[in-house]
Amino acid sequence: MAEWDASSQNGALEKNGLRRVAVMLPYPLGPYDYMAPAELNLVVGDYVVVPLGPREVLGVVWGKGQGDVAAKKMKPVAGRFDAPPMPDDHRRFIDWVAAYTLSPPGTVMRMSLTAPKALEPARPAVAFRRGALSPNLTLTAARRRVLDVLEERGTATAQELADAAGCGIAVVRGLADAGAVETVMLPPCYPASTFQPLDDRPTLSPDQALAAERLIARLGAGYSATLLDGVTGAGKTEVYFEAVAANIAAGRQTLVLLPEIALSAQLLERFAKRFGAMPALWHSDVGPAARRMTWRGVAEGKTKVVVGARSALFLPYPDLRLIVVDEEHESAFKQEDGVIYHARDMAVARAHLGGFPVVLVSATPSLESVVNAEVGRYERLYLPARHAGAALPKIGLIDLRREKPPARKFLSPVLNQAIAETLAAGEQALLFLNRRGYAPLTLCRTCGHRMQCPNCTAWLVEHRFQGLLRCHHCDHAEPIPSNCPQCDNVGSFAPCGPGVERISDEVAELFPDARVSLLASDMFQGFGGRGMALQEAIRQVRDHEVDIVIGTQIIAKGHHFPMLTLVGVVDADLGLTGGDLRASERTYQLLHQVAGRAGRAERPGRVLLQTYMPEHRVMQALADDQRDAFLAVESEERRAAAMPPFARLAALIVSGPDTAEVGQAARELARAAPRSDGIVVLGPAPAPLAMLRGLHRERLLLKARRDVPVQPLMAEWLGRVRVPANVRIQVDIDPYSFL
């Protein structure tokens, strides 16, 4: 990697007589040296176009050239984009993420180039202002409204005028043709670039005010990490909004990271209410136009607040001074393909590199963060109570060994009774089951054949509404066959186990008059789970147009339903099987979160967990509201087992189309494994998902003491082993998935 002398950073390279630059390309290669034509006036961070073989590709000037290529052989940079150079901090961040995750820096940088159109300056917007009124102008009512709007606002775009005057754009055009309005060019309007200070902010409770004060005091005072902890509804969002407001007032940039699923309209509305403008949004479903304006607005330093999913970390902020990671415990922050990284951890690294505060927010913080707070790496701020004394819901356990549901049914009589009482009181119930589809397994009653995915080690899940069997690990879907593929018997398939669709059938039988809504991400395909349809479904729940909601975790987070007073968890044990290191912790977090949907308003809520393991410590901790005691036990167990956060893990996933080649490569990796004090290498072993998308998979796991620098070890290890071209090795530092 080219080391760039700090004194010349951001200076024109030519000033020092430099004529070669190292250009990072968005591929797993390079950086490569190029000649820098003097007239381009290149500076470090510039976005450039360079020749690569027969093509021209986009790249970023990463520093001065390494100088080991003869000048004659070097090709010149072909062009420079008129865009603010990628900030130093951001380039250092990319290099840091690459080094941490053992990914090529070009591949990491690629995550910053997801809106290439934004490299062209944004076009000015065409707007209108009032022109001369000719006496011959026919003044229709619509035309008059348009002129009135302009009178009031001075300038507005055609769309704004049409919206405000309640007419079509043609009316505006007609006025323009008649000279009654004239066009003006406005500078591009970047999202979240202006905010109005709002007066009707809530008055914070003393605890809240203290926490807000502490966060605000951290702004501008270098790097710090704070864990903002407190039950759902304690006002954590209100508190971090105060810090965001202070950062806005200082004119600096803020990033609020949320797990994709929690990017709800409700939070945005709340944000807009508090700050008088929407934040810029960044997630996988943002369309190209908004993406372009946001990227450019961020790069120009004009867009002040971004609320986004993990990819928002890779926008090129020139002046980022605060990151908030809301729901910091969420495993959705872990990106599992491409560059495998944990956005919460990378956010902390980004704050460290940039020298500014990061705030991690959760009602059920991860053990990692709790331990970091205990040892003093993070400051902990705790909000003890729900705002205005709203009661936390009471959590009860239903022992399924005694309270048996009827045959082939999944709701126990106790739960049904509670639902009936809730409906009778004119309130709403939520039945939670984190499993999409009708049934997780379809089996032939005659021969026992199980319908399996042809590409993955996984059963096919029946989706009855779609009439399909689907794999939840790949895109495979097939119609439900009429004959068993093995014994050819007709109509002998039986569903095994429940999915939300099946619960919905059961509820329809039990409560035929209730209005039922089924909420699962596959019900809203094409909207990325956040689209209009889902928002509409959520509105119906909020406005009490629905009596019983049946949902997956799509409904578990962030929503506020005033009339929802009962939460029934159909299978509380679901996440506990499978031997995941964090199974208990995650189950606790998820169920606690779901429980938080009950009784958010004045009406007290209750929560019933159906379980076969009522004595399990997760169930006990939930029922007795003993989070900290639970975390303490969990922490002790992890310490005793030398597992994270008390040790480091790194996984290698070896995959390929040929099982023998994969096995061979995995064994060679094991033979070449580093051997020294403080490390153990486990495996290879076939992955639980031994086949995924048609590729065979084996896993190795390196476990190291916390003080062992894992990355150099891994890099050296991988460097010792040659694998065939169609065997792939993925490195997963700090793995969260063990499938």
Q: Residue 476 interacts with Zn ion (CB under 5 A)?
A: yes
Q: Residue 696 interacts with Zn ion (CB under 5 A)?
A: no
Q: Write the DSSP assignment of 122-154 as a string of letters.
A: PPPEEEEEE----TT----HHHHHHHHHHHHHS
Nearer to ligand ADP, 63 or 233 (CB): 233
The site partner of 153 among ligand ADP, Zn ion, none (C-beta below 5 to 8 Å per kind) is none
**C-alpha to C-alpha distances, 527 to 265, 480, 691, nearest whole angstrom:** 13, 25, 29
Interatomic CA distance for residues 114 and 102, integer angstroms: 21
Q: For residue 538, what are the contacts with CB-CB under 8 A and spacing of at least 6?
A: 264, 265, 266, 519, 555, 559
The site partner of 400 among Zn ion, ligand ADP, none (C-beta below 5 to 8 Å per kind) is none
Nearer to Zn ion, 121 or 454 (CB): 454
Q: Residue 455 interacts with Zn ion (CB under 5 A)?
A: yes
Nearer to ligand ADP, 25 or 590 (CB): 590
Q: What angle do CA 236, 603, 260 make, to 5 degrees?
A: 40
Partners of 493 in the β-ladder: 444
Applying CB under 5 A, the span of 69-77, 464-472, 655-663, 678-686 interacting with Zn ion comes to: 464-472
Applying CB under 5 A, the span of 86-94, 388-396, 468-476, 651-659 interacting with Zn ion comes to: 468-476
Place of tokens 């007419």: 167
3-state secondary structure of 548: strand
Q: For residue 312, what are the contacts with CB-CB under 8 A and spacing of at least 6?
A: 255, 257, 282, 283, 306
Q: Write the DSSP assignment of 178-235 as a string of letters.
A: TTSEEEEEEPP--TT------S-PPPPPHHHHHHHHHHHHHTTS--EEEEEEE-TTSS
Neighbours of 526 (CB within 10 A): 8
Q: What b/e sequence results for 375-407 when a residue is b if at least 16 CB atoms lie within 10 Å of its CB, and e otherwise?
A: eeebbbbebebbbeebebbebebbbbeeeebee
Nearest distance, CB of residue 383 and ligand ADP, angstroms: 7
Helix 236-249 / helix 265-275 crossing angle, nearest 10 deg = 50
The site partner of 204 among ligand ADP, Zn ion, none (C-beta below 5 to 8 Å per kind) is ligand ADP
The site partner of 233 among Zn ion, ligand ADP, none (C-beta below 5 to 8 Å per kind) is ligand ADP
The site partner of 589 among ligand ADP, Zn ion, none (C-beta below 5 to 8 Å per kind) is none
Interface residue with Zn ion, options 83, 320, 433, 456 (CB under 5 A): 456
Q: Select from 514, 578, 582, 588 the least CA-distant residue to 544.
A: 514
Nearer to ligand ADP, 208 or 553 (CB): 208
Nearer to ligand ADP, 386 or 463 (CB): 386
Interatomic CA distance for residues 120 and 300, integer angstroms: 12
Nearest distance, CB of residue 264 and ligand ADP, angstroms: 12
Nearest distance, CB of residue 326 and ligand ADP, angstroms: 8
Nearer to ligand ADP, 234 or 256 (CB): 234
Nearer to ligand ADP, 205 or 331 (CB): 205
Which phi-psi region, left, alpha or beta, contains residue 498 (left: φ > 0; alpha: ψ -120 to 50)? beta
Nearest distance, CB of residue 387 and ligand ADP, angstroms: 4
The site partner of 238 among Zn ion, ligand ADP, none (C-beta below 5 to 8 Å per kind) is ligand ADP
Residues near ligand ADP (CB under 6 A)? 202-205, 208, 230, 232-238, 387
The site partner of 303 among ligand ADP, Zn ion, none (C-beta below 5 to 8 Å per kind) is none
Nearer to ligand ADP, 230 or 499 (CB): 230
Residue type at 140? T
The site partner of 455 among Zn ion, ligand ADP, none (C-beta below 5 to 8 Å per kind) is Zn ion
Nearer to ligand ADP, 107 or 593 (CB): 593
Q: Write the DSSP assignment of 156-185 as a string of letters.
A: B-HHHHHHHHTS-HHHHHHHHHTTSEEEEE
Nearer to Zn ion, 58 or 477 (CB): 477
Nearest distance, CB of residue 258 and ligand ADP, angstroms: 12
The site partner of 202 among ligand ADP, Zn ion, none (C-beta below 5 to 8 Å per kind) is ligand ADP
Applying CB under 5 A, the span of 322-330, 473-481, 559-567, 622-630 interacting with Zn ion comes to: 473-481
Interatomic CA distance for residues 135 and 132, integer angstroms: 9
Residues of this chain, 539-558, that bind Zn ion according to CB under 5 A:
none
Q: Residue 471 interacts with Zn ion (CB under 5 A)?
A: yes
Residue type at 493? F
Note the residues at the interface with Zn ion (CB under 5 A): 453, 455-456, 471, 473-474, 476
